[in-house]
Structure formats: C-alpha cells, structure tokens
Homo-oligomer: A and B are copies of this chain.
Amino acid sequence: MIDKSSFHIVLIGAGNLATHLGKALCARGFRVGQVYSRTYESAASLAEMLSASPLTAVDELPTDADLYIVSLTDAAFVQLLPRLTAGREDRLFVHTAGSIPLSVWQGHGHRYGVFYPMQTFSKRRDVNFEEIPLFIEANNDEDLQLLSELGGELSHNVRQLSSEQRKILHLAAVFACNFTNHMYTLANKLLAANGISFDAMLPLIDETARKVHQLPPAEAQTGPAVRYDHNVIAKHLDLLTDMPDVRALYQEISKSIHKESTNE
C-alpha cells in the first residue's frame, strides 16, 4: 500500500490535465511537492492550488521523488525528456498522453510507465475524477502495481492497456470527443448567426449521447444522410452557401454516414 503521507509526487506540466489530476490527487490526500512549468505564472498558479512549490528550471526538480508525472504537449515532452530523467534514472516516471507509447522512455531511466486519464479537461469546469477511465502501463510489474493502486485511489475504472491499443483509443477519443464537440460548435455558429439560443440543442445533444449507452452508434444513426435524402440535403447545402468550409464538411460527413449505413 502507498503511504500517502510520505509518497512524494512531482507534477511536470501545468495544463488542463495536470491541473485536474493534481487537484484529484490532493483531494485524495496525496502530496504534490513541486509543480514544474516553463512559465512561472502557470507553475505558480497550479502550485498554489496544490500547496506545492513552483519551479521553472528542470535542474531544480528534486532527484528523490517517488513519482514524476509528466503532462506536457507531445513536442515539449520529447524535447525535455533527456533532461528530466538525467540524474533520476532510478526514479519512476510516467506520462499522461494517450498518443505517446511507453517506449518513448527507453534509454531514459529504468522505471517508467503511462498514466492516461481519458477525459476532456477544461480549466473552467470541474470533473468527477472517479468516473474517468484510467489506462496504465509500466515497464515492470512492481511499478504497474503501484500505478494500479494510485489509479484506484482516483478512479473506479482503472485498466491496463498496451501502447498499441492506447493509441487507437486516443484516436477514437478524438472522434468521440473533440470532433463531436466541434459539431456542437458548428451548430452553435449557425444558431447564433440566426438569433437562436444554443440551449434549444441541449435535449437533443443529451439524448444523442445517452442513446449510444443502449444502441450501437451505427444503429442509433438518424437524419437525412442515412438514406441520402437529396431534397433535404440540397436545402441544407443551400443554407451553407456563405460558409464554404462548413458546407464541404456537411457534404463529406453526409457521404460518410450514407456509406456506413449501406455497409451495415
């Protein structure tokens, strides 16, 4: 069992994911000692929330922490990686990125893993961390066990997943979350331009999400594109004349829906 009072965690990164993860750790009684970010403001802002010390220099990171959680953009991570592990080769490092394989750590230290909470994090919105699926991986059984315990403290949905499967999961999440949200954005744009409140969409958005708890999404599909209803689609394309990019997207997604529905 992890002794929370002595277990020393360092957060590297202060973005949305690091913020929500740090808050969840503290709420569960874990101690975050330091928060690193390239900008002092970001480091200080999150460090204050977590009663931790802000750092902006990699050299000042402690060498004796129990766990370093790296939550940076992919590009920043790859660039910083050698300096993070140098002098800390026997320490446990994890990253939180769905898209980065475990093997990124090879040649950098001896103990490493992945701790990927699959959720959409925005600073202005609180999330219930317990419901977030956490996907873990490690290069040794002992640390896998540790990550499993730590994960279990934060979420009731912790699973071990290979890097190969996780990268598919991350890609699928881009469709199910990021692209979905963009469909909401485009709907909102159309409504706002015509003086209609986005609130009118919420019951539909909620039901669309709830529906796939019960039906496979291909079966839940409705709307003019399923049977490629030329009448309705032509009217919609007319309405989008002034938004050529959105019009092109409408056409491509409609074709894709029709294609999937005829494949079934």
Would you call A172 and B187 a contact (CB within 8 A)?
A: yes
Whether, in the assembled complex, A131 has its beta carbon less than 8 Å from a beta carbon of chain B, the answer is yes
A12 to chain B, nearest CB (A): 18
Contact B223 A213 (CB under 8 A): no
Closest chain-B Cβ to A159's Cβ sits at a distance in Å of 8
Q: Which of A82-133 contact B (CB under 8 A)?
A: 99, 118-122, 124-125, 127, 131-133
A257 contacts which of B118, B120, B182, B256 (Cβ < 8 Å)? B182
The reply to whether B133 and A200 form a contact with Cβ atoms under 8 Å apart is yes
The residues in A between 148 and 183 inclusive whose CB is less than 8 angstroms from any CB of B are 157, 159, 164-165, 167-183
Decide: B223 and A177 in contact? CB cutoff 8 A.
yes
Q: Which residues of B contact A207 (CB under 8 A)?
A: 119-120, 127, 177
A49 at the interface (CB under 8 A from B): no
The answer to whether A185 has its CB under 8 Å from any CB of chain B is: yes
Residue of B nearest to A203 (CB): B131
**What residues on B are CB-neighbors of A256 within 8 Å?**
182, 186, 245-246, 249
Taking CB atoms and an 8 Å cut-off, the chain A residues in 190-211 that contact chain B are: 190-191, 194-196, 198, 200-209, 211
Residues 215-233 (chain A) with a chain B CB within 8 angstroms: 215-225, 227, 229, 231-232
Q: Which of A172, A205, A209, A229 gathers most chain B CB within 10 Å? A: A172
Q: Find chain B residues with CB under 8 A from A206 CB.
A: 209
Q: How far is the CB of A122 from chain B (nearest CB, A)?
A: 6
A53 within 8 A of B: no
Are A176 and B208 in contact (CB-based, < 8 A)? yes
Shortest Cβ distance from residue A208 to the other chain B in the assembled complex, whole angstroms: 5
Other-chain contact of A213, B200, B202, B229 (Cβ < 8 Å): B202
Please list the residues of chain A having a beta carbon within 8 angstroms of any beta carbon in chain B.
16, 73-75, 78, 99, 118-122, 124-125, 127, 131-133, 157, 159, 164-165, 167-191, 194-196, 198, 200-209, 211-225, 227, 229, 231-232, 235-236, 239-240, 245-246, 248-250, 252-253, 255-257, 259-260
With A165-B194, A252-B252 already in contact, 16 other A-B pairs whose C-beta atoms are closer than 8 Å: A74-B232, A124-B214, A127-B207, A133-B200, A168-B190, A172-B188, A173-B187, A175-B190, A176-B208, A178-B223, A182-B260, A183-B183, A188-B216, A189-B260, A245-B255, A249-B253
